[in-house]
Amino acid sequence: MDAMKWWGWGREDVAFTHEDKPGLRPFIQRALDVDVAQPGEPPVPFSTVDVPEPKVDATLLAALRAAAGVDHVSVDPHDRVVHARGKALRDLVRHRTGDVGRVPDVVVRPGDEAAVAGILRAALDADAVVIPFGGGTNISGSLEAPAVEERTIVSLDLGRLDRLLEIDAESRLARVQAGVFGPHLEEQLHAHGWTAGHFPDSFTHSTLGGWIATRSSGMQSDKYGDVADLTRAVRVVTPAGTLVTRPVPSTSTGPSVREMVLGSEGRLGIITEATIHVHALPAQRVILGYLLPDWPRALEAMRALAEAEVTPSVTRVSDAPETQFSFATRKAPTAFDQVKSRALQLALRRLGIDAEQMCLSFVGYEGSEERVAAQRRAVGRIVKEHGGLCIGASPGELYDQKKFDTPYIRDFLLDRGTLADVSETSAPWGALPRLYDNVMADARAAFARLGITGYIMCHLSHSYHSGACLYFTFAFKPSGAREPLEEYDVVKGAIQQAFVDNGATLSHHHAVGTEHAQWLEQDISAPGVAMVRALFDGVDPGGNLNPGKIV
């Protein structure tokens, strides 16, 4: 897998454009007071970036080369900068201006678990810092070394540990190396008729080890489970040796060491391998679009779906602001689209659905033909009971095709001096309506305090027995009166504070890192924080493993 851009998301040769989406320019003009057709400000060229000389002594360098092989130890400036941070908005804003922070001194790419153990041993002997690196896609500041770190920093890139090792077809389990990227994992599983079913929006550039270390969720986690559910066992190289857990379906051996590794963000060791659930490739897969009359009824419909235990693979519904954004990103309509659109207008009028309030939903179905048909009937009934209607498979197909391109929109907006980011959370069903109202109100109050034109929108992205994940996206053009990141902190802080003040968690699937650490105590209480700290201090007394993250 090629490295991502050092200053943004994804590949250099892929970019988001408004030119094929006639509704987008006027939408952004209205929502953010930004004309996207005006020339923007590109990132500085890499040649102008001041990358400090690597600080690594000869003994450590020799030991790293002995462990990983000479060709797999790099002090190349570009390589080090790519490994310096993840893809949080703060990371991108700083990188684009040439502020690359405390870059790792050396990047090492082990080829097997023994090499990982050798690297860790060499680093501990030299009192160096080790930061495991998967795909570098995290958006919570989980990779950046503290600015004040004076020890040598080793970025341990797991990219060469990318193989499917074994499938136990009877138990529907696969043993996989942790550095495998999403597409390569699925490719290897598909060859045997299986899927892991884990598809985060960052799928193309993130790894199994990174998913486990951040407790990731995918867009089909409603069916396949979050990574915490589908990870049955792990192998982790720690300062005390290799931690091995058994791939049992359930156990009373508590506290769960497997759970301690899930979400550990490199603080406990390096995950080299995991045993994960796999499923037979489904006979049928379809995503249908629905429109619901307004957000309260949309939320209630999703709750009713969970209560009815229909378990589709995707349950997603956007609020009205996000629905309007989605419609604005449509490509120019064909004559057939225009006919369909007139028919849809009529149906909406008949049902009394107001275009300003309506909420776009996608529900995904997978499995045998009979199962899909039964699920579709059950969902259709619930949508109808909540005043909505099905709009067919084409919006769902479009969503399915676009989902991995959407992340490029952040760079498009940054090029135009506009900041866009996300904050997501989860809470019980009963808390969701108030949570939503308060987050929207607090974000808009933050925009008003700063005197800026901002936009905030939301979708429900995952449903559970007792609640759901709400995923907020916000954007604004900084006022120019302060540093852009200062204004970002005001808006992001207001949203995060509203989460914890309204009974929700600091993040449903983006982890803690440094971005969310200030809300940890309000989320899990002071004794909870003390337990986490004691765990990290006990396993890593020298603070060599990715220091400064989570606590």
Find out whether 314 and 363 touch, Cβ atoms under 8 Å.
Answer: yes
- Using the minimum distance from each CB to ligand FAD, give the nearer residue, 136 or 454: 136
Q: Which stretch binds ligand FAD (CB under 6 A): 129-137, 241-249, 334-342, 514-522?
A: 129-137
Q: Which stretch binds ligand FAD (CB under 6 A): 40-48, 134-142, 183-191, 343-351?
A: 134-142
Which of 54, 77, 104, 266 touches ligand FAD (CB under 6 A)? 266
Q: If you ran DSSP here, which 8-state letter would residue 91 be given?
A: H
Which of 200, 312, 484, 547 touches ligand FAD (CB under 6 A)? 200
Instruction: Give the burial class of 191: count Cβ atoms within 10 A of its Cβ; 0-12 exposed, 13-18 middle, 19 or more buried.
Output: exposed
Q: Which residues, numbered 170-199, are part of the site for ligand FAD (CB under 6 A)?
A: 178
- Total binding residues toward ligand FAD, as defined by CB under 6 A: 38
Which of 7, 16, 133, 194 touches ligand FAD (CB under 6 A)? 133
Please enumerate, as own/partner, the contacts of 395-403 that have beta carbons within 8 Å and a separation of 24 or more: 395/289, 395/360, 395/362, 396/286, 396/287, 396/288, 396/289, 396/362, 396/364, 397/287, 398/330, 399/287, 399/289, 399/362, 400/287, 402/329, 403/201, 403/219
d(CA 339, CA 306): 35
Q: Report which residue's Cβ sits closest to ligand FAD.
A: 210
171: three-class secondary structure by DSSP: coil
Q: Is 407 in the site for ligand FAD (CB under 6 A)?
A: yes
111: three-class secondary structure by DSSP: coil
- Give the list of residues 6+ apart from residue 489 with CB closer than 8 angstroms, or none: none
CB of 229 to ligand FAD, least distance (A): 13
Which of 49, 117, 143, 287 touches ligand FAD (CB under 6 A)? 143
Catalytic residue check, 471:
yes
Q: If you ran DSSP here, which 8-state letter would residue 307 be given?
A: H
Q: Is 16 in the site for ligand FAD (CB under 6 A)?
A: no
Q: Which residues, numbered 422-441, are part of the site for ligand FAD (CB under 6 A)?
A: none
Q: Which stretch binds ligand FAD (CB under 6 A): 139-147, 166-174, 379-387, 429-437?
A: 139-147
Q: Is 312 in the site for ligand FAD (CB under 6 A)?
A: no
Pairing verdict, β 389-392 and 284-292: antiparallel
Q: Is 217 in the site for ligand FAD (CB under 6 A)?
A: yes
CB of 59 to ligand FAD, least distance (A): 25
Which of 113, 186, 222, 265 touches ligand FAD (CB under 6 A)? 265
Two structure tokens written together for 105: 């001194």
**Amino acid identity at 22:** P
Two structure tokens written together for 426: 């989860």
d(CA 158, CA 274): 13
Two structure tokens written together for 500: 């914890």
CB of 274 to ligand FAD, least distance (A): 9
d(CA 461, CA 424): 9
CB of 50 to ligand FAD, least distance (A): 24
Binding site for ligand FAD (CB under 6 A): 9, 86-87, 131-139, 142-143, 158, 178, 200-202, 206-207, 209-211, 213-214, 216-217, 265-266, 270-271, 407, 509-511, 546, 549
